[in-house]
A and B are shown apart, each in its own frame.
Chain A
């Protein structure tokens, strides 16, 4: 059954009093999107081309230089970010596309070895709403297979690059996932009902997200991204004195892993680490904490 409902109320006036580990005021989830090598290009039979940086692609033909912008993400920038996370002893969540992992299995094994969380992000880096329901099911299966095949581990959760009315139901049906992040609608996790099953959503966002480096109006320079992160943190930290919140930081290797931009990420990690009661967490840790402490909460929208 396609999900045709929307929920404009959410927690409303019944916002739960969240307590994070260590009494943290903000839980920060760093997310590394690992999509390089799964993006749409005629090389993989697509009739659409995805721009990697500033290049604007208006025809369905291979854009080799554009592809190499993605290649940079997997070959070089991925390692730069891995080393940054190690240096600051933070663990991230990797939203990985199955096909991207297959194109660089060494990188796939490495992020697992370094303690980052595997989350499936489609097999292809393509919106789920461009697929039929059966194709979507296939995308989910293939992505899970690719994770198992390259890392020996199945993904903990799911995040689409553009979910459809079917996606959540199919993710639940596939099984083995703890949550999905297919929502930008909250500051904290929440439950929904999916076919009689209580299902956990750990919301994500697109504003504290480096994708704005390639969009207009977007981030003109690295400092713009830092400011966005800092402002979001400052607001949530202040609110977190009474109502602890969570903050997602969306990164892409090909964007934030550029030499010029990694500074913004590093600067932000240092900034946030300068405050007491900040919990850098993988999403699965947030999910487990939520299920343990708040598993009794009613699903929203029902």
Chain B
């Protein structure tokens, strides 16, 4: 699969958003808890994204030892984090997109239903929450299909979007083969949606995501830099909003905010999300949208592939 380092270039498109909004804000909540790597699920490795427990992946191989402390950090996300965040979204009246791992929603069907009941979007995020690199093509295709089926069954609606934990050059083709998807979010390469090409030359709308306005920086392991305190994440959200809102006067943009139930659903961090929503609401021309709403708008009003 080729890369496109030029994109829209200097002729950035002016497409705009509903009601003349200057910025579309997509809040994303990752719902992965229960689908992460653990020997309990037959995996050889313990998930190494944790709140402060350092896992040496190499020495683990062949060990197949569960780490119940880490598992319980994930359980917290599904049991407590979801409810705290969902209540904030209700109180602020915003609809968001949940990136749902199939096995995670299966493990908590009550929460899965709640996503639809409250009007949020369930987007496919693999059956297992695992990178696809170690998968064969057949395994990857199977995980995509099973993931979509599991989310459909648990939340009551077939996902129309997709985000991989880590995509391979063939992922986009496999998504088209699976069928029924309007967009993916497997790119961090732009501020606006665009049509991405698969390795076989077909196109799929990609609604780009990002890794800097993302709470996983609270959990990131060295040598990468993370957020040292909740205000650091607040300032990144605010600075991103300020810049894109300013640019949106002539070139409306989109902003993604990446959250995880087990991370931003913590008592120490949830308020930052609520404060950011209030902050953004204080400006005119702000459209809080689910990714599917952005995708549909773009398919109708954006440049064609």
Chain B residue contacts of A76, Cβ below 8 A: 7-8, 189-191
- Which of A6-14, A61-69, A189-197 is the contact stretch? A61-69
A222 to B223, CA, bound (A): 18
A298 in the interface, Cβ–Cβ < 8 Å?
Answer: no
- B3 contacts A by Cβ under 8 Å: yes
Name B's interface SS: loop
Q: A106-B6, A260-B243 are in contact. Are A72 and B235 (CB under 8 A)?
A: no
When the two chains form their complex, are residues B168 and A64 in contact, meaning their CB atoms are under 8 A apart? yes
Chain B's closest residue to A38 (CB) is: B5
Q: Are B240 and A68 in contact (CB under 8 A)?
A: no
Are B10 and A106 closer than 8 Å at their CB atoms?
Answer: yes
Q: Determine whether the beta carbon of B235 is less than 8 Å from that of A221.
A: yes
User: Which one of B8, B210, B244 contacts A75 once the chains associate, using CB atoms below 8 Å?
Assistant: B8
Stretch touching chain A among B63-71, B96-104, B143-151, B214-222: B214-222
- Per the bound structure, the CA–CA distance linking A300 and B255 in Å amounts to 51
Cα-based distance from A217 to B288 in the complex (angstroms):
34
Q: Would A63 and B240 count as touching, CB distance under 8 A?
A: no
CA distance A219 to B232 in the complex (A): 10
Question: Which of A64, A79, A259 is within 8 Å of B240, CB to CB?
Answer: A259
Digitize B222-254: 1 where CB-to-A-CB distance is under 8 Å, 0 elsewhere. Answer: 111111110111011101101110010000010
A263 to B57, CA, bound (A): 37
Taking a contact as CB atoms under 8 Å apart, the answer to whether B169 and A216 are in contact is no
A214 touches B225 (CB 8 A): yes
Q: Is A154 an interface residue (CB 8 A)?
A: no
CB pair B236–A222 under 8 Å, yes or no, is yes
Contacts of A85-130 to chain B: CB distance below 8 A: 100, 103-104, 106-107, 110
State whether the Cβ of A176 lies closer than 8 Å to any Cβ in chain B.
Answer: no
B278 at the A/B interface (Cβ < 8 Å)? Answer: no
Among A51, A110, A213, A221, which residue has the most Cβ atoms of chain B within 10 A? A221
Which one of B190, B212, B237, B247 contacts A258 once the chains associate, using CB atoms below 8 Å? Answer: B212
A43 to B199, CA, bound (A): 13
Question: Counting CB contacts under 8 A, is A166 at the interface?
Answer: no
Residue from the list B9, B187, B221 in contact with A56, Cβ < 8 A: B221
Q: Write the nearest CB–CB distance from A213 to chain B, whole angstroms.
A: 6
Instruction: For the complex, give the distance between the alpha carbons of A214 and B211 in Å.
Output: 11
Tell me which residues across on chain B come within 8 A of A64, comparing CB atoms: 1, 166-169, 171, 186-187
Q: Are B211 and A55 in touch, CB under 8 angstroms?
A: yes
**Nearest B residue to A212 by beta-carbon distance?**
B225
**Are B5 and A259 in contact, with the CB atoms below 8 A?**
no
Which of B216, B225, B229 interacts with A219 by CB under 8 Å?
B225
Least CB distance, A185 to chain B, in whole angstroms:
24
Say whether A262 faces chain B, with CB atoms less than 8 Å apart: yes
Contact status A53-B211, CB under 8 Å: yes
Report the separation of the CA atoms of residues A261 and B189 in the bound assembly, to the nearest whole angstrom.
Answer: 16
On whether the beta carbons of B187 and A68 are closer than 8 Å, the reply is yes
Determine if A62 and B225 form an interchain contact, defined as CB atoms under 8 angstroms apart. Answer: no
A71 close to B (CB within 8 Å): yes
CA–CA, A70 and B190, complex, Å: 10
> 5 tightest A-B contacts by CB?
A75-B7, A218-B225, A71-B189, A68-B189, A259-B243
12 A-B residue pairings within 8 Å (CB atoms): A54-B211, A56-B224, A61-B133, A64-B187, A74-B7, A76-B8, A110-B10, A216-B223, A221-B231, A221-B232, A221-B236, A223-B235
| Chain A residues at the B interface, C-beta cutoff of 8 Å | 36-37, 43, 51-56, 58-59, 61-65, 67-72, 74-76, 79, 100, 103-104, 106-107, 110, 212-223, 258-263
The interface of chain B, by Cβ under 8 A from chain A, is: 1, 3-10, 12, 57, 133, 164, 166-169, 171, 186-191, 208, 210-214, 216-217, 220-229, 231-233, 235-237, 239-240, 242-244, 247, 253, 255
Supplied contacts A54-B217, A259-B191, 19 more A-B pairs, CB within 8 Å: A54-B225, A56-B220, A64-B169, A64-B171, A68-B188, A69-B188, A71-B7, A71-B190, A72-B189, A76-B8, A104-B5, A215-B223, A215-B224, A216-B222, A219-B225, A222-B236, A259-B240, A260-B213, A263-B239
